Amino acid sequence: MAVPPSPVTILDAAPNLGALYTKAAFTARGRGGPLPDTHLARRAVPVDPAHLAAYDRECGFPLDDVLPATYPHMLTFPLQMVLMTDRAFPLALPGLVHMRNRIDVLRAVRADEPLDLEVWAENFARHRSGATVDLGATVQVAGEEVWRSTSTYLARGATAPEGAPEADVEVTVGDLERPVATWRIPDDAGRRYAKVSGDVNPIHLSGLTAKAFGFKRAIAHGMWVKARALAALSGRLPDAITIDVAFRKPLFLPSTVTLWTAQAEGGWDVAVRSASSGTEHMIGTVRPL
């Protein structure tokens, strides 16, 4: 018997992330059950050139008419937020920890191409600290998949369904012998990226709001750290690539960090580490597809 396709709900406009974070705060209790099988989508979404330019500047990418590999996440993440704040989603959004993100760029995506976006949840898994779930996303142009990603989130203290597999949140890199850059990240880095991305999660905005969620200071967005590392490799990557990173320890703001890179398997291994303690904030691999 054929498995029926998952229902797809098409949204007419981009969701408001600020409103969704407020909703998440008031609907966190009483969740549970299986993952919903609903897919959320938007069709023929244009790229705003001014927004793309602002994103490029904030993350360190050169201004270009080809989208950075991390840019489509700006468009798909609000749909994932709608999914996670719905009552049918079993895990409370406040406190979710972004553990891993993999992006596959199947071909260069131009800024003038209308994009079809779709997101869903899958892979409810066990973790030693709770349970994880994957938020998937895909981007198509005229029926051709050109980009896809998987973001793995950890809910501490949550319980995965009986028989769930073990979570896969690890990324392995080789030896990284020396740093290639030092970044001094100011205390407003989270607010600046939030202005571009719309991701106004309170843990990124100020020390006061971060402390309400158990952090001693505001922390940098993981996807900003990934984008900043990828931007450092601009001009040295093929059009079709896979960028797979694990987010390790929070990067508190302000901080001074070092970027480490090494060529590996036709691509690169990368790490972002504290300049003073060597603590790893992010490690990852960049490989040709």
The CA distances from residue 61 to 121, 149, 215, 219, in Å, are 30, 20, 29, 21
Tens digits of per-residue pLDDT, 222-234? 999 999 999 999 9
pLDDT at residue 27, as a whole number: 84
Q: Given the structure tokens 């690169």, which residue do they identify?
A: 268
pLDDT at residue 206, as a whole number: 93
The pLDDT-based confidence of 3 (bands split at 50, 70, 90) is low
Tens digits of per-residue pLDDT, 27-50? 888 788 899 999 999 999 999 999
Q: Given the structure tokens 């309400």, which residue do they identify?
A: 212
pLDDT at residue 4, as a whole number: 59
pLDDT at residue 217, as a whole number: 95
pTM above 0.85, yes or no: yes
Is the distance from CB of 152 to CB of 100 less than 8 angstroms?
yes
Domains of the chain listed by start with CATH number:
1-168 (3.10.129.10), 170-289 (3.10.129.10)
Tens digits of per-residue pLDDT, 182-227? 999 999 999 999 999 999 888 999 999 999 888 899 999 999 999 9
Tens digits of per-residue pLDDT, 132-168? 999 999 999 999 999 999 999 999 889 999 899 999 9
